Chain A
């Protein structure tokens, strides 16, 4: 071959001289291009036909060819491609954002309803407005803890009341030291034994009083952590005493970390029984309870009946809001707006693809005619254009999906939320782009398949 190169350079127009072709053919190996010689045309032609028929079945415009040709078609006009997929990008993107924000918001709501908020119940007597202000019209029974704990879903319950000590001083030692700066007296509260659990408090040292102390009206107290500091009590192993007025009370424990009624930390806490005996406590102010997640509605129904069967309206129960109800209502709001927007954008996106594909079918009539003339069947042409529009749709879907995910993450970052997005939604949205491409491409593909080779070639000339 290289020997022949100089000749080609010298005489570029004389490309196909007889002799050269003769010399060349054996080396270039054109088995199918060289047709059989005249003496035996029939037999050899048959053989050629069989080979062609076999080849047709195997390698005639296979999937690889289809995809390669469609890729050329899609990539031929990048500028137009961008305009074509914008609608799909927006549609798929807004769908992903919708679902993503709804899921993130739902997660956020669940997050806000933390364990305490979702499982804490407060029971108080109902109040009525009078001239002098408001006055409790119901009362909380002494055995409120027992009654509440019998309701399904209540895990711990306890009553609490403020104790009027009639100005009695509270001191760690009975002697009056005039040089000591006067401190604000700690509050005195009375609780049932179960209250510590009901407000999720912890014991720093010692113990909480039990029902025995309560029943016997023992003179014991538990100190809130801050009250203990103020009274100078930090250990209970030597049974220190504090004085309320003249009476000594043994300190049996110090508590901290309560999730509700944080005033307990500044208080001297008596058993309810002791307070009734020593300070003539008249009644309980409030009951606290922890419940199982989701038990709020049941407790709200049953607690008033359990505490005051004759006039349950005199009892007020504050239960956590039903988290799932809040969630669904928030979701419904977001979904209605964004899904509508997404659907409109998708429709526009689909029409965009249909329109541009139709335009390109019209522009490429010449190409279609040529392919038909070279042996493409109607189905080959239709498939090519259908795959092109599916690829365009998929591209839009992928970009839209990615954009949507980015938007959800950005919004979440800005709001300090944890972004939550289902992978199935992300992938499904990308595939939706392909489905839209399929729908949008069907009519143009049928149009392309219907192009007659002869009209196309005349028009394309």
Chain B
């Protein structure tokens, strides 16, 4: 049975009964993201301990910001959360299901269907239009074909790029590229949005617009993990996690 199957069909008496946060109305759900003593090292002399012994639980619908100095392991952590990278040791449970043993195809299906990722470096296809770049995410996430275009248009409208549909990414400003990347990340209605410095290239006003969008998505129940250097951005989150040299600490307000 694949991870997707497990996630798709609630089995009576499965993990949902035992673990997780207690929700309104007594419904029990596992944390969307759960790290157990997770470590990621990079080989080298000396080896780089990018994430060390991380224990972290993020419940469904939480809005978490990750802060920390440059090179502290933020991106590494986010790549692991996004199933783009595998931990060196420890466990990562997504929706209560261990991902370490999951097959490559299952991990790909989760990336496409459940996780939206905003990369620090955008990663837009340079020779495809803005609209095509956004549509790319629908190819692999199983968005029904007739819904693809309307959704892409709506998502681009939502980030204020309706007037740039046929532009190539190379002629866009940094902020516009970032917003294309965000539209692409949310188009397949993920459960978790992972954003690596989504406002890094934006001025205060546009940055405010993106954060408003995040607030909006959060209100709709999306789980957000946002990496940022910006204290103002971090302040919008419910919960703040600080990472220093690979070690996670909860920041209490």
Question: In this assembly, does B53 line the interface, its C-beta being within 8 Å of a C-beta of chain A?
Answer: no
Question: What per-residue 1/0 map shows which CB atoms of B178-197 lie under 8 Å from chain A?
Answer: 01000010111101000000
B66-74, B135-143, B241-249: which lies at the interface: B135-143
Bound together, the chains give a CA A375 to CA B136 distance in angstroms of 10
Interface residues of A toward B: which range? 35 or more
The residues of A that contact B23 with a CB separation of less than 8 Å are 41-42
Question: In this assembly, does B51 line the interface, its C-beta being within 8 Å of a C-beta of chain A?
Answer: no
Give chain B nearest CB distance to A246 CB in angstroms.
Answer: 106
Of the candidates A16, A42, A59, the one having the most CB atoms from chain B within 10 angstroms of its own CB is A16
Question: In this assembly, does B251 line the interface, its C-beta being within 8 Å of a C-beta of chain A?
Answer: no
Question: In this assembly, does B112 line the interface, its C-beta being within 8 Å of a C-beta of chain A?
Answer: yes
Give chain B nearest CB distance to A194 CB in angstroms.
Answer: 82
The answer to whether A376 and B140 touch (CB under 8 A), given A21-B213, A41-B61, is yes
The residues of A that contact B45 with a CB separation of less than 8 Å are none
Give chain B nearest CB distance to A87 CB in angstroms.
Answer: 25
Q: Which residue of B lies closest to A52 (CB)?
A: B113
Question: In this assembly, does A45 line the interface, its C-beta being within 8 Å of a C-beta of chain B?
Answer: yes
Question: In this assembly, does A50 line the interface, its C-beta being within 8 Å of a C-beta of chain B?
Answer: yes
The residues of B that contact A65 with a CB separation of less than 8 Å are 139
B155 touches A16 (CB 8 A): no
A367 touches B125 (CB 8 A): yes
Which residues of B, 1-53, contact A by the 8 Å Cβ criterion?
4, 7-8, 10, 16, 23-25, 27-29
Question: In this assembly, does A60 line the interface, its C-beta being within 8 Å of a C-beta of chain B?
Answer: yes
Question: What per-residue 1/0 map shows which CB atoms of A19-57 lie under 8 Å from chain B?
Answer: 001001000111011111111111111101110111111
A-B contact count (CB 8 A): 205
Question: In this assembly, does B236 line the interface, its C-beta being within 8 Å of a C-beta of chain A?
Answer: no
Which residues of B, 59-115, contact A by the 8 Å Cβ criterion?
60-61, 79, 82, 84-85, 104-105, 108-114
Question: In this assembly, does B121 line the interface, its C-beta being within 8 Å of a C-beta of chain A?
Answer: yes
A38 touches B221 (CB 8 A): yes
A33 touches B105 (CB 8 A): no
A16 touches B212 (CB 8 A): yes
A29 touches B154 (CB 8 A): yes
The answer to whether A372 and B206 touch (CB under 8 A), given A42-B23, A55-B143, A56-B142, is no
Q: Which residue of A lies closest to B104 (CB)?
A: A378
The answer to whether A32 and B205 touch (CB under 8 A), given A38-B61, A60-B141, A373-B84, is no
Question: What per-residue 1/0 map shows which CB atoms of B117-128 lie under 8 Å from chain A?
Answer: 101110101011
The residues of B that contact A58 with a CB separation of less than 8 Å are 142, 144
Apart from A56-B4, A375-B112, A454-B79, what are 13 other A-B pairs with CB-CB below 8 Å?
A14-B209, A15-B179, A17-B209, A33-B154, A35-B217, A42-B28, A48-B191, A58-B144, A60-B112, A60-B142, A76-B127, A366-B123, A370-B125
26 contacts between A and B (CB under 8 A): A14-B209, A16-B160, A18-B215, A32-B188, A35-B222, A36-B220, A41-B61, A42-B23, A45-B60, A48-B191, A49-B8, A53-B4, A57-B142, A59-B144, A61-B139, A370-B123, A373-B82, A373-B84, A375-B109, A375-B137, A375-B141, A376-B139, A377-B105, A378-B108, A457-B79, A457-B123
